[in-house]
Amino acid sequence: MSETKTTEMKATKRQFKAEIKKLLDILVHSLYTNKEIFLRELISNASDAMDKIRFESNKGTDYIDKDLPLEINIWANKDKNILYVQDHGIGMTRDELIKNLGTIAKSGTEDFLKAVTENKENASNIIGRFGIGFYSVFMVAKKVIVKTKSYLKDEPAMEWESDGMGGFTVKPLNEEMKRGTIVEIHLKDDAKEFTEKYRLESIVKKHSSFISFPIKIEKERVNTIPALWREPKSSIKKEQYVEFYKFLTYDTEEPLDVIHTSVDAPIQFSALLFIPKRNLDWFGITREDYGLDLYVRRVLIQHKNKDLLPEYLGFVKGVVDSEDLPLNISRETLQEDIIFTKISNNVTSQVLSHLTKMAEKEPGKYKQFWEAHGKIFRLGYSDYANQDKFMKLLRFNSSSCKDEKELISLDDYVEKMHKKQKEIYYILGSSRAAIEMDPHMEIFKRKGIEVLYLYDPLEEFALSSLMKYKDYEFKSVDQVDVKKLNKLDDVEKNENEMEPLSKDDEKHFSSLLQRIKNILGERVTDVRESKRLLDSPAVLVNPDNSISSTMQKIMHITGQTKSIPKKIMEINKNHKLIRNLLKVYKANDKDEYITNVAEQLYESALLMEGYLTDPHKLVNRINKLLEQSSEWYTAVKKL
Ligand code: ADP
């Protein structure tokens, strides 16, 4: 025996990783609610271990103790206050034991700790979602011994022991053992109830009834529920769906909707899918935690398969079971399997059809769906095969909505569109209030043209890559051709309409524009008269064919460019301020007041667009203008 082998055989004492210590501390000292779920976690681990061995067996792998029954056995020793949970699953080697139960700091731990601080009472309910369920056993145990033997040939049986405080020991087991794992739980004095058969039975029935392997307590089978998705729809009660959903997702609420289908041709499969009421991706940290469970003839092939549905439908939870896939299919080649691809296309299209129906028949429910999952769903713009269905399912807030909660579809938009309108307009902003004050909106209000309000740059990405809906191109309000809009009649009367400028003044106005252009110099591409403004004196717009404002902003935020994009400054000659400026200009075209106003208008516009990085100059200038105006004010008022 080599030297390393000899040291391996000795008992080694190890420390838990810091995160795991913290986790154990919280489990033992702060979580008193719902301790019984420790059993669910151990059963779920046992079931996973047996899924794994069944998978190896289907692949034709060679392993030990092939004839052991795939079942979970639970029994207790009342005198010693010990509970045993045993499986004949895949077992663990020495290295796996050390890695899995103690040394690897799992990312789930941090996430779980975060969840605990926000939501204490539910923490024990959700621990299983974070991949750290095993440690919940220390809520009821003063000592735990895990005895395990790997399915691999020539691996010795091992024993892991811990009191859940600082560390654990691992040593070879000095008794005979068949393949699998036995968890020996030395219960705390206040946890004696978990040696009672009736208590164990009720816990298993409550939390583990959908486990597909037999669960036996004191040799008696407890779980008898068959694979629900294979049952005829008519025979299933709503509560059964809800129960299965909760089992699957650890959600404490009922699902928003259930999709249960059975397809026979051209490929046979059943699917039982759920749409959760809320986004289960708490804090956005379990993003990877999506996918459907894939079964072949009731045998679990893969937990959370990520290819059955595209990512934007990742909020859907559930199982898919097919007769037509081979049992020994390898997870690695699934994606290339034609039958699998057909199943996945069919499942995707079923989900979209279901949502379409929901949108038509139950708009209230659909709105709930949108509020919970719209953000992820919107990413579906890249699913070209389903683009038509997808676009019909999109929802937006818009200028015609009464508040920021109301939503419309693209069909709603098109229906109300102006007869001569050829484009669908949108604007991106941080809130409804901000958008409504944006000068770009003025012409749309005046012409009574609806504008979609986007609050997330990803929405604009989606629209610009979709390009159009039906024949109508998506267009950002700052890239619109104002001439086209001005051909439409006004619906709003301009209350402060001004006398048109005289011919002479028009000329002066042109040279005033030139003067402003000289002041702003390289910072703008042009200064010109605005045909879109009503209430604002000036606005910055994009030169034709330049990249969209959102793109510019994203490049700015991500540091790809530090420069401020050059835009066209448009001046509203029918604004009181500009009319007064014209008077100043006519009296003295070099007046410094003009410079101050031009600078201020430019920087105010930058500020509105989010580009002004240093406010000092702007604030100083405003102070100066205020000072001047205070003098005029006191003079006029004769103070
Ligand atoms: P999770 O099961 O979510 O990964 P746990 O903390 O419950 O997290 O378990 C950690 C790991 O320990 C498991 O991923 C598995 O590899 C291993 N494990 C736990 N229980 C068993 C068992 N009964 N048989 C084989 N391996 C097990």
Residue scoring higher pLDDT (111 or 616) = 616
Find out whether the beta carbon of 102 lies less than 6 Å from any atom of ligand 1. no
CA 87 to centroid of ligand 1, rounded, Å: 12
52 lines ligand 1 (CB under 6 A): no
What percent of the chain stands above pLDDT 70?
A: 92
* pLDDT tier, 566 (very low <50, low <70, confident <90, very high otherwise): confident
Q: Per-domain residue ranges for the chain?
A: 3-221, 228-369, 396-493, 501-639
585 SS3 class: helix
In sequence order, the 6+-apart residues with CB closer than 8 A to the CB of 95 are none
Class at the top of the CATH hierarchy for domain 228-369: alpha beta
Encode burial over 220-232: b for 16+ CB neighbours within 10 A, e otherwise: eebbebebbbebe
pLDDT of the residue at 259: 97
Whether residue 120 is predicted with pLDDT greater than 60 in this model: the reply is: no
CA of 406 to the centre of ligand 1 (A): 46
| Partners of 72 in the β-ladder | 87, 215
Q: Strands 468-469 and 472-476, how do they pair?
A: antiparallel
Of 110-114, 121-125, 215-219, 417-421, the least confident: 121-125
How far is ligand 1, taken at its centre, from the CA of residue 48, in Å?
Answer: 8
Q: What is the number of the ligand 1 atom nearest to the C-alpha of 180? A: 24
Q: What whole-number percentage of the chain has pLDDT above 90? A: 63
pLDDT of residue 551: 67
pLDDT at 562 over 90: no
- Tell me the pLDDT of the chain averaged across its residues: 89
Q: For residue 125, name the pLDDT band (cuts at 50, 70, 90).
A: low
> Which are the contacts of 118, defined by CB distance < 8 A and separation ≥ 6?
283
pLDDT band at 271 (very low <50, low <70, confident <90, very high): very high
> Residue 289: CB within 6 Å of ligand 1?
no
How much is the pLDDT for 3?
40
Ligand 1 pocket residue status of 134, Cβ below 6 Å: yes
The overall longest dimension of the chain from CA atoms, in Å, is: 108
Task: Over range 98-116, report the average pLDDT.
Answer: 80
Which atom from ligand 1 is nearest to the alpha carbon of 89? Answer: 24
β-bridge partners, 257: 275
Pocket test for ligand 1, best of 39, 45, 47 (most atoms within 8 A of CB): 45
Mutate to test the pocket of ligand 1, among 100, 150, 183 (most ligand atoms within 8 A of CB): 100
Question: Is the shortest distance between the CB of 92 and ligand 1 below 6 Å?
Answer: yes
Model confidence band, residue 74 (pLDDT cutoffs 50, 70, 90)? very high
Atom of ligand 1 nearest to the CA of 45: 20
100 Cα–ligand 1 center, Å: 6
Rounded mean pLDDT of 446-473?
92
Topology of domain 501-639, CATH: Four Helix Bundle (Hemerythrin (Met), subunit A) (1.20.120)
More confident residue, 362 or 330: 362
Instruction: Kindly report the pTM of this predicted structure.
Output: 0.76
Q: Is the dihedral of CA 315, 316, 318, 321 positive or negative?
A: negative
Ligand 1 atom closest to residue 90's alpha carbon, by position in its atom list: 25
Over residues 1-5, the mean pLDDT reads 43
Is the CB of residue 46 below 6 angstroms from any atom belonging to ligand 1? Answer: yes
160 lines ligand 1 (CB under 6 A): no
Query: 191 — alpha (psi -120 to 50), left (phi > 0) or beta?
Result: alpha
Q: Whose CA is nearest to atom 4 of ligand 1?
A: 131
Nearest residue (CA) to ligand 1, atom 16: 100
Atom of ligand 1 nearest to the CA of 41: 7
Distance between Cα 349 and ligand 1 center (Å): 35
**pLDDT at 4 (0 to 100):** 46
Least confident of 126-140, 405-419, 450-464: 126-140
Question: Is residue 512 in contact with ligand 1, taking CB distance under 6 Å?
Answer: no
Rg of the Cα trace of the chain?
34
Compute, in angstroms, the gap from residue 45 CA to the centroid of ligand 1.
5
Q: Is the CB of 131 under 6 A from ligand 1?
A: yes
**Ligand 1 centroid from CA 135, angstroms:** 10
Atom nearest to 85 CA in ligand 1: 23
- How far, in Å, from the CA of 137 to the mean position of ligand 1? 12
Report the atom number in ligand 1 closest to the C-alpha of 131. 3
264 or 327, which is more confident:
264
Give me the mean pLDDT over the 305-313 stretch: 94
Residue 293 Cα to ligand 1 middle (Å): 18
pLDDT at site 1 = 40
Look at residue 548 in the predicted model and tell me its pLDDT. 66
Give the nearest ligand 1 atom to 133 CA: 7
Q: What are phi and psi of 418, to 5 degrees?
A: -60, 140
Task: Please tell me if the CB atom of residue 320 comes closer than 6 angstroms to any atom of ligand 1.
Answer: no
CATH: 3.40.190.10, 3.20.20.70, 3.30.565.10, 3.40.30.10. Which one for 3-221? Answer: 3.30.565.10
What's the pLDDT at 2? 42
Residues 251-256: contacts with CB under 8 Å, at least 24 apart: 251/276, 251/277, 251/280, 252/122, 252/125, 253/277, 253/278, 255/317, 256/365, 256/368, 256/369, 256/372
Q: How far is CA 363 from CA 119, 154, 356, 393, 414, in A?
A: 31, 61, 10, 11, 19
Residue 298 confidence (pLDDT): 81
Average pLDDT score over residue span 156-176: 94
Computed from CA positions of residues 331, 336, 337, 342, in that sequence, does the dihedral angle turn out positive or negative? positive
Quote the ligand 1 centre to 134 CA distance (angstroms).
7
Q: Alpha helix (H) ranges present in 60-106?
A: 94-98
> What distance in angstroms lies between residue 63's CA and the mean position of ligand 1's atoms?
20
CA-to-CA dists, residue 144 to 135, 140, 506, angstroms: 10, 10, 90
**Low-confidence winner among 250-259, 275-284, 483-492, 592-601 (lowest mean pLDDT):** 275-284
Topology of the domain covering 396-493: Rossmann fold (3.40.50)
Is the minimum distance from the CB of 133 to ligand 1 under 6 angstroms?
yes
Whole-number pLDDT of residue 9: 63
